[in-house]
A and B are shown apart, each in its own frame.
Chain A
Amino acid sequence: AQSVTQPDIHITVSEGASLELRCNYSYGATPYLFWYVQSPGQGLQLLLKYFSGDTLVQGIKGFEAEFKRSQSSFNLRKPSVHWSDAAEYFCAVGASWGGGNKLTFGTGTQLKVEL
């Protein structure tokens, strides 16, 4: 069975500082990996995804993530955080399943940005 671990429940960074959110996964085959952001009152929004190919993927809002198979990790990074980035971030792993995709989510990391 697939699983996702996000070791950091809360992270606080200053605006303009760099950010790295950790994600480790467990999956028997090549994983499909995702990062989502959840803001109050809004649905989860996809930041970026990895299926294959280049292990460094670029996403929206200036985020990027690097897939490291040897470490079973898919950490999310941003060089300079903005106050509007404060939200809950979820890492997820997907198993290909016919016409859909069942996602297993990590427990999330709450990001607080200090001005």
Chain B
Amino acid sequence: GAVVSQHPSRVICKSGTSVKIECRSLDFQATTMFWYRQFPKQSLMLMATSNEGSKATYEQGVEKDKFLINHASLTLSTLTVTSAHPEDSSFYICSAPSGERGGLYNEQFFGPGTRLTVL
């Protein structure tokens, strides 16, 4: 199957700093990528949909100025957590559907996740 990578796998930062997380589709192009957040022992919550060449679409309750998303190429989306605080500590996961735009359904492939700890 297709491979999605994330970098870094773990990051620890001080409160008030910004952290950038990269999501790459390694062997396919992804015009759309999804960003999820997962709290311990809880489900994945969709944060936003990243669209190549256009603005991201955020889910209700997600601060777009807090979580900046850039989808600059067909294989890379970045999530920047700005002015991070301890409550932003979480496991962030990206996914990318393969296949052509407009396909009936394109299987999503998930990255291994990034563990963010804000001190």
| B32 adjacent to A99 (CB under 8 Å) | yes
Q: Identify A46's interface contact among B9, B42, B107, B111, CB under 8 A.
A: B107
| A99 adjacent to B100 (CB under 8 Å) | yes
Mostly, the A contact residues are strand
Chain A residues, Cβ within 8 Å of B9: 41
A27 within 8 A of B: no
Chain A residues, Cβ within 8 Å of B34: 100, 102-103
> Residue on B with the closest CB to A41?
B112
| A99 adjacent to B31 (CB under 8 Å) | yes
| A100 adjacent to B111 (CB under 8 Å) | no
| B43 adjacent to A107 (CB under 8 Å) | yes
Chain A residues, Cβ within 8 Å of B113: 43
| A101 adjacent to B105 (CB under 8 Å) | yes
Query: Min CB distance, A111 to chain B, in Å?
Result: 14
> Residue on B with the closest CB to A6?
B43
| B106 adjacent to A102 (CB under 8 Å) | no
| A107 adjacent to B108 (CB under 8 Å) | no
Query: Min CB distance, B97 to chain A, in Å?
Result: 5
| B101 adjacent to A32 (CB under 8 Å) | no
B46 within 8 A of A: yes
Query: Min CB distance, A60 to chain B, in Å?
Result: 10
A71 within 8 A of B: no
A11 within 8 A of B: no
Chain B residues, Cβ within 8 Å of A101: 97, 105-106, 108
Within 8 A of A (CB), among B29-62: 31-32, 34, 41-46, 49
Chain B residues, Cβ within 8 Å of A96: 104-105
CA distance A43 to B108 in the complex (A): 11
Mark A residues whose CB is within 8 Å of B: 9, 32, 36, 41-46, 49, 51, 90, 94, 96, 98-108, 110
Query: 10 nearest interchain CB pairs?
Result: A99-B101, A43-B110, A100-B32, A44-B110, A105-B43, A43-B112, A107-B43, A105-B44, A100-B97, A99-B102
7 intermolecular pairs with C-beta atoms under 8 Å apart: A51-B104, A96-B105, A98-B32, A99-B101, A100-B34, A106-B43, A107-B43
